[in-house]
Amino acid sequence: MFDPSGSLAGALVRRLSLFSRLSVEERREIELAATARTRRIAARERIAAQGDRPRYVSIVLEGWACGYKYGREGNRQILGLYLPGEHCDSSIYILDRLDHSLEAITDVTMGEIAPADFRCLMERSTTIAEALWWEELVSSAIKREWIYSLTQRNAIERIAHLICELYLRLSSIGAATDHRMPFPLTQIDIAATTGLSPVHVNRTMQELRRLQLICLGGRELRMLDPAGLADLAAFEPDYLHLSERWTREQQQMTLHSGARPGESGALKRS
């Protein structure tokens, strides 16, 4: 696969290419627009605050970010995770003010596209315009799935589902392979994402390890039994709408190819 690496906008181009076949010029235009103005934010720093008037379309070029809002008792809810190549929703200029805040999870490089440039990008090429629509629609679909998760999946299923989703989103842009992925989320972050208490997330992660489904260490997560995880979570990747390049077979492979750990010892506890 052609890799426009070296460029900061690599992830973005790769992501938009998932949906549409971009020409060389289109790729270049996207790169230009997205890297004309960049901003680096250190891990755990706020990127924008609720109530701000967004002046740019914000796109994550490198690192992980999130959108969140605080609840009454001071615990926050993460409303979206933004991985490389994804836009931070609602930082879109059309809306008057941000209805939630944005924070960097890792060190992050953002691309900030001015409204005029964004409009220009959309008007120049129908292909690009549709790719941007696709991004927006997929981000909507992810939110629907989160709503579904919050009401239909219990703690362990929710976390397993989140892991499957993140793995697919990362691997689709080449940021994860072999059922291993960078994993900068703390248990507190996971709690804020899944709507669980940190304590319960802790116990649930222990359970996932005990079941030999995952292995976590040094900011990296390994899916020991991808198929088992996907089964547990009832993970159906259709909502990510990756199918243009990522055909159904590939998706299946991605999660269902890892060797099941089988009955090979080391799990002798109730």
Partner DNA sequence: CGATGGCTTGAATCGGCTCAAAGCTTGTGG
Partner DNA sequence: CCACAAGCTTTGAGCCGATTCAAGCCATCG
- Single out the residue of 28, 119, 124, 200 in contact with DNA (rule: CB under 7 A): 200
Q: Check residue 77 for interaction with its own copies (CB under 8 A).
A: yes
- What span, in angstroms and rounded, lies between the C-alpha atoms of 220 and 205? 14
The type of residue at 44 is R
Q: Which is nearer to its own copies, 216 or 234 (CB)?
A: 234
Pseudo-torsion of CA 170, 173, 175, 176, nearest 10°? 60
**Chain-centroid distance, C-alpha 217:** 20
Q: How far is the CB of 153 from DNA (least distance, A)?
A: 8
What burial class does residue 130 get, using C-beta atoms within 10 Å of its C-beta: 0-12 exposed, 13-18 middle, 19+ buried?
Answer: middle
Q: Which residue has the tokens 């809306």?
A: 95
Measured from the CB of residue 259, what is the shortest distance to DNA in angstroms?
A: 25
Question: 199 contacts which partner out of its own copies, DNA, none, CB within 5 to 8 A by kind?
Answer: DNA
Binding span for its own copies by CB under 8 A among 134-142, 225-233, 249-257, 260-268: 134-142
Contact between 110 and 58 under an 8 Å Cβ cutoff? The reply is yes
Tallying the residues shown for the chain, one arrives at 270
Residue with tokens 């059309």: 94
Q: For its own copies, which residue of 120, 137, 253, 267 counts as binding (CB under 8 A)? A: 137
Q: Does 152 bind DNA (CB under 7 A)?
A: no
Q: Which is nearer to DNA, 220 or 238 (CB)?
A: 220
- Is residue 205 close enough to count as binding DNA by CB under 7 A? yes
Q: Between 224 and 230, name the residue whose CB sits nearer to its own copies.
A: 230
d(CA 227, CA 180): 14
Query: Interface with DNA by CB under 7 A: which residues?
Result: 44, 73, 75, 154-156, 186-188, 195-200, 202-203, 205-206, 218
